[in-house]
Amino acid sequence: MKLLPFVLAFTAWSLCAAKKPNILFIFTDDHAYQAIGAYDSWLKEHCPTPNIDSLARDGMLFEECYVTNSICGPMRAAIQTGKYSHTNGFLVNDNKFDGTQQTFPKLLRKAGYTTAVVGKWHLGTHMAPQGYDYSEVLIGQGPYYNPPMRLDKDGDGKHDEVVKHIGYTTDIITDLALEWMKTKRNKDKPFMLMYQHKAPHRNWQPGPKYLNKYDDVTLPEPDTLFDDYKGRTLAAYQQDMTIAETMNHGDLKLHAPGNLTPEQRKVWDAAYNPKNQALAEANLSGKDLVRWKYQRYVKDYLRCIASVDDGIGRMLTYLKETGLEKDTIVIYCSDQGFYLGEHGWFDKRWMYEESLRTPMLVRWPGVIKPGSRNSDIVSPIDFAGTFCEISGIEEPQDLHGRSILPLLKGKTPKNWRKSFYYHYYEYPGYHFVRRHYGVADGRYKLIRFYEEDVDQWELFDLKSDPNEMTSVFGTAQYAKVQNRMVRQLALHRKKLRVPEVDPPHSVIQRPPHRTRVPTSPQ
């Protein structure tokens, strides 16, 4: 009888240890790490992200989270499968995702999780998201206001209906995610919810609450806003993604969105008409006009993020008030980084730092030491393996990523990756960024732009040249580094079985019209 208390205590401990944690995966589109207060940047003092920042305070911030292919659809496919684009079949945004293949939601569902995805899906298919008990997702990119959304309420992988919502999309996505948490999930099972925002994707339409935020502030500019692209290959000259020449009237809010209700339009016009009138009267040109465009762009971008952060705050409050907080892993990530005027650009796609690196913060009470910062190279491609390990599922052997669970516990395995492979395919395509692949190790970065008319290399030393302004490829000083990086690149391509010739479906079907004539090198 004296053993009974011990046996009961041991049994209770065993049940607790075997309990699968809930997973809340918060995902945004094009959220630059520079626009999160917890990350260090010239915008740090102006970033409206107290709730995202709380995940760094209470959990772990990853400083070197690299994406595999810096564009929306391909990264979402990489996250679902844990595999690079050439293996999962989704190389460019024009592709259709093969939902029949192995994905982590299917694995979690088999392991006893109830699964859901709400918000942006953007995997180029009319098929409902597969492996989810519930989904309500935007159609394609979806609008910032009054979004129609495809609903699969019974998890059979088929859309039941298109629901037409009225309101601001960021708020609606939060409302739907909370509604599923409160009333629709199976509360007898652990949950995995992908809570996915459209914001802050182009064209950065703020919600009614924040239309005038920053009106009385002049935001700081990046040092490279007026980059002349000297010191790099032809690719940097030949892009079509400059704030100066590529942004259109919709981007700059010189035209109001066409899908607003009369009430929404009234609020919108009250905010933007006076500012646009002031622009017309100023009659700006040259660098003064570029600076105005930069201010309009970055302010709208940060306004969109403010609404995202508000929604995250509502979700975190719900977890706390219901007692779910202690049993739930909260992950914040984006599909890639983004340019906030660096090199004069917006958008992503490049292997340069601003688009290669994406924010990643993880909170897991009782496992992650609060306030931790991690400098190991990780990637969203690691989520599939991580979710398998933390839920007790055997990790599939064909994944390209690997579980970051040891890192979350503060222990980096000796064999953890020291370098990372990247591959971008979408050319010719929007913004005309050349096809390229390369390898990065945190300090050095080797990039090959490969086309019949442009086959050129770049090598950067991020310690001496953090803004990647001057390639040192072919210089005697970096010959040993270059040889080492070339060998690493070849090893990555061999291990990943990257085809020597890009698959036919890496070509988009309707190359867009170029909106500007690219500057040529002098």
- What digits encode the pLDDT tens for the residues 345-402? 999 999 999 999 999 999 999 999 999 999 999 999 999 999 999 999 999 999 999 9
Over residues 467-496, the mean pLDDT reads: 98
pLDDT (0 to 100) of residue 514: 75
pLDDT (0 to 100) of residue 241: 96
pLDDT (0 to 100) of residue 451: 86
Quickly state the pLDDT bin for 516 (edges 50, 70, 90): low
Output the six-digit token pair for 205: 């339409």
Rounded to 5°, the CA angle 371-377-388 comes to 80
Asked if residue 215 has pLDDT above 50, the reply is: yes
pLDDT (0 to 100) of residue 159: 80
What does pTM read for this prediction?
0.94
pLDDT (0 to 100) of residue 518: 61
Over residues 453-466, the mean pLDDT reads: 94
Over residues 195-216, the mean pLDDT reads: 97
Domains and CATH numbers, the chain: 19-205+296-418 (3.40.720.10), 422-506 (3.30.1120.10)
Rounded to 5°, the CA angle 479-481-487 comes to 105
Asked if residue 181 has pLDDT above 90, the reply is: yes
Query: Which of 10-19, 106-115, 118-127, 409-418 shows the lowest per-residue confidence on average (mean pLDDT)?
Result: 10-19
- Are 240 and 515 in contact by the 8 Å Cβ rule? The answer is yes
- What digits encode the pLDDT tens for the residues 35-73? 999 998 999 999 989 999 999 999 999 999 999 999 999
- Which amino acid would we find at residue 347? D
Query: Crossing angle of helices 383-390/72-81, nearest 10°?
Result: 30
Give me the chain's average pLDDT, please: 93
Residue 401 CB coordination number (10 Å): 23
Asked if residue 519 has pLDDT above 60, the reply is: no
The pair phi, psi for residue 449, each rounded to 5°, is: -95, 120
Which has more pLDDT, 195 or 18? 195
Query: Which of 371-380, 470-479, 497-506 shows the lowest per-residue confidence on average (mean pLDDT)?
Result: 497-506
pLDDT (0 to 100) of residue 15: 35
Asked if residue 93 has pLDDT above 60, the reply is: yes
Quickly state the pLDDT bin for 157 (edges 50, 70, 90): confident
Quickly state the pLDDT bin for 154 (edges 50, 70, 90): confident
Task: Name the DSSP letter for residue 112.
Answer: T
Asked if residue 9 has pLDDT above 80, the reply is: no
Rounded to 5°, the CA angle 28-421-388 comes to 60
Over residues 437-459, the mean pLDDT reads: 94
User: What percent of the chain stands above pLDDT 90?
Assistant: 87
HSE-up of residue 128 (Cα within 13 Å, Cβ side): 23
Over residues 284-313, the mean pLDDT reads: 98
